[in-house]
Amino acid sequence: MSSLTDLYQEVILDHNKRPQNFRVLTGEAVHSAAGDNPLCGDKVTVYLRREGDRLAEVTFQGTGCAISQASASLMTEAVQGKTEEEVQRLLTAFIHAMKGEEAPDLGKLEALAGVRDYPMRVKCATLAWHTLHAALEEEDAPVSTEE
Ligand code: ZN
């Protein structure tokens, strides 16, 4: 049985305390999207800058619970420099894994695997990824976990 302490493993607490790529990106080639998880009060804005078919820079800003912020931080690290196709594949795999479905090994992102047993927390963990997807698709409407 997983306990709530497993949820807040060291890597999650560390990324929450010292988030990576926590900054606003500006410039012509930058796209951003905003995401909201009203059930928990998590908010995330994801910024990306493309260079050819790669994501040269991915950053975020946000507030909310440790899981939502750590997941955003881990995500920016995981997708930096990857091609859009690789990112879409990782995104799908991550969301499957968080729902407890079959998925390939996610490396460092496995730190978030503890949320599988807590459906409310799955929304915290996947918020940044849904928001990244919206930024990739250049959708203007904000993303909500409740729509
Ligand atoms: Zn949350």
Span from the CA of 113 to the centroid of ligand 1 (angstroms)? 15
Find the mean pLDDT for residues 101-116.
Answer: 88
Model pLDDT for residues 64-108, shown as the tens digit of each residue: 999 999 999 999 999 999 999 999 999 999 999 998 898 888 988
Span from the CA of 64 to the centroid of ligand 1 (angstroms)? 6
The domains of the chain are located at 3-138
Whether 6 has a pLDDT exceeding 80, the answer reads no
As a CATH number, domain 3-138 is 3.90.1010.10
Span from the CA of 52 to the centroid of ligand 1 (angstroms)? 34
Instruction: Answer yes or no: are the C-beta atoms of 144 and 36 closer than 8 Å.
Output: yes
Span from the CA of 120 to the centroid of ligand 1 (angstroms)? 8
Whether 1 has a pLDDT exceeding 60, the answer reads no
Span from the CA of 66 to the centroid of ligand 1 (angstroms)? 7
Mark 51-82 as b/e (b = at least 16 C-beta within 10 Å): eeebbebbbbbbebbbbbbbbbbbbbebbbeb
Span from the CA of 36 to the centroid of ligand 1 (angstroms)? 10
- CA separation (Å) from 106 to 32, 64, 91, 139? 25, 24, 10, 27
The residues, ordered by sequence, that sit 6+ positions from 3 with a Cβ below 8 Å of its Cβ are: none
Span from the CA of 88 to the centroid of ligand 1 (angstroms)? 23
